[in-house]
Structure 1
Amino acid sequence: MANALLAGPSGFRGHTNWPAWAVLPAGFLIFILAALAGYIAVWLYSVVLGADAGITTPGSTAQMTTAVVVWLAGMQLSVVLITYFAAGFFSSDRASALSLLRPQGGWSVLFWALLPLFAIALLWTGLLVLWQPEIVAQDLRPFVELMKGDAFWLVMFVICIGAPLSEEILFRGFLFTGLAKTRLGLIGTSLVTTLLWTSLHAGYSIFGLLEVLWIGLYFSWLMARIGSLWVTMFCHAVYNTAVALALLMVTLPPPPAPVVP
């Protein structure tokens, strides 16, 4: 119900037996292991599919594009598996340690949680398109180029499913639950995990980073209010899917020509 977003006590009920000092190092280790697993996925992809993999011509655009997408897919899948496995250490209950719990207010809150997200996103994007259209195009162009490649369906998986699952289970699941029991509390934990998540998008413009920042803070607020990772994963997936579908229907202006001295 909509009241669960605005009224009543915090619905956060996550708990883990992980020592507080070990949570952040474990998160970094999970990310490093997953990144290495991504490189293994690229190697396996090229070995199994050979010339049909599209990454066997050294230096080609097809090679780079497909390799990046395969790496991302392998990394995201590894983050989900490793984080879920690690969440059970120290006799912790995995569902509680990752806040994979029933949302406070029931499952209908999934719909209500989307409304503020899309209302603010449309306002934010509309203002940016009017004020700094070239910056918006700059942030979106790499995704459009990936989606126009041969690995379209894998790109859609990475954007619409892989990113929401892996990022939420690590940042708003494992790290959030582990840090919330420290002196940081829910507010400090929201800031720390959101800043770490924002740093993951370091290639964006300052406006793109600000968008990631406010979305991360909103997802953290949802965790504190509703207490369920299912809600943030759902919102993240729907948002990314909406953006991906919108990119299929728009034509971005070509990048500016390089300045010749």
Structure 2
Amino acid sequence: MTVGPDVLTEGPPRYEPDTPWKPVPALLATALIALGPGIAGIAAIAFAMPQMAKDDGGQSFMSLATWEGVAFAAGVQVLSLILVWMIAGSGGQRAAVLRLTGESFSFAFYATAALLLILITGVLEFILYKSFAIDIFADTAWLREGLTSPTALGTFVIAVILAPLWEEFAFRGFLLSALAKTRLGFWGAAVIANVLWTSLHGTYSWAGLVSVFVAGLILSWLVWRTGSIKPAIVTHAIGNLFALAFTYGFAPHPLPVPA
């Protein structure tokens, strides 16, 4: 069954939380999924390669302009993806907890969803960044480093494939399911899940954080309307791809093509 864009406006929302997880254990598990691999990775680097970490303060592992940084970021995200996949259970339980439904969605659906995400967040960012004289490209400096280096392909994989997968599974799949079945209801749960997801982007300006939070609510709305995590994953990926293209194409200074 292929679902078109009409599902976004017609009929009742399809979302129904289905998970054995209680809210507090789910919150703790989400913290483990989101933070555990990164903390473990930093500790491993400090233990296994102390001299390298000492020489540059570990900066080579924190920059997408280096292969060490790309490997570190990709490794952390893959571990987060594995953790959420395992913690969610197996078979039908995993599919229910993560909202991995069987429907497929049409090109028109994804085009509509992505256009909504990009237009709403784009207008919001234009107003906030312009009104308060905030440099929008300061929030994406870490992406620019990767895009203008030989590690550009690695930056693409991290931003467009790995990040949308594990973040959607963890926050708008696993955690949202556990919180939405409580008295919070779907939107109370979505606010909490998206506040936590937004906190992962803590290096952004306040305007950037507002934009991330609103984007999270839009992605949550897609899950609510369709009952599936798939639209959120794909739309998140398209949004990140647009951010990469915008950063590369409209930065104040010409960006060199990676060697």
| TM-score (norm: length of structure 1) | 0.81
For residues 223 and 140 of structure 1, do their structure 2 counterparts lie closer, same or farther at Cα, with a shift above 3 Å needed?
same
1:74 counterpart = 2:75: yes
Give the match for residue 24 of structure 2: 21
Give the match for residue 175 of structure 1: 175
Equivalenced residues, count: 243
Instruction: Trace 1:7-86 onto structure 2 (pairs within 5 A).
Output: 7-39=10-42, 58-59=55-56, 62=60, 64-65=62-63, 66=66, 67-86=68-87
Structure 1 residue identity aligned to 2:177? T
Tell which deviates more after alignment, 128-137 or 229-238: 128-137
User: In 2, distance between residues paired with 1:36 and 1:27?
Assistant: 14
For residues 139 and 213 of structure 1, do their structure 2 counterparts lie closer, same or farther at Cα, with a shift above 3 Å needed?
same
For residues 145 and 17 of structure 1, do their structure 2 counterparts lie closer, same or farther at Cα, with a shift above 3 Å needed?
same
For residues 130 and 56 of structure 1, do their structure 2 counterparts lie closer, same or farther at Cα, with a shift above 3 Å needed?
closer
User: In 1, distance between residues paired with 2:202 and 2:253?
Assistant: 23
Contact 1:13 1:99 in 2 (8 A): no
1:4 to 7, 12, 18: 7
Tell which deviates more after alignment, 129-138 or 158-167: 129-138
Give the match for residue 246 of structure 1: 246
User: In 2, distance between residues paired with 1:41 and 1:249?
Assistant: 37
User: In 2, distance between residues paired with 1:184 and 1:63?
Assistant: 39
| Structure 2 segments unaligned to the other structure (5+ residues) | 255-259
1:107 to 95, 105, 108: 105
User: In 2, distance between residues paired with 1:145 and 1:107?
Assistant: 34
Contact 1:77 1:162 in 2 (8 A): yes
Structure 1 residue identity aligned to 2:239? Y
Contact 2:98 2:177 in 1 (8 A): yes
Cα distance per residue 1:58-94 (max 9 Å; x no partner)? 31865652344322211111111110101007x9711
Superposed displacement of residue 129, structure 1: 5.6
| TM-score (norm: length of structure 2) | 0.82
User: In 1, distance between residues paired with 2:252 and 2:224?
Assistant: 38
Cα distance per residue 1:200-251 (max 9 Å; x no partner)? 1111111100100100111111111111111000000011011112222233
User: In 2, distance between residues paired with 1:63 and 1:112?
Assistant: 37
Cα distance per residue 1:113-161 (max 9 Å; x no partner)? 2221122133234435644554212212232123223422211111111
User: In 2, distance between residues paired with 1:116 and 1:129?
Assistant: 20
Contact 1:101 1:228 in 2 (8 A): yes
User: In 1, distance between residues paired with 2:143 and 2:132?
Assistant: 18
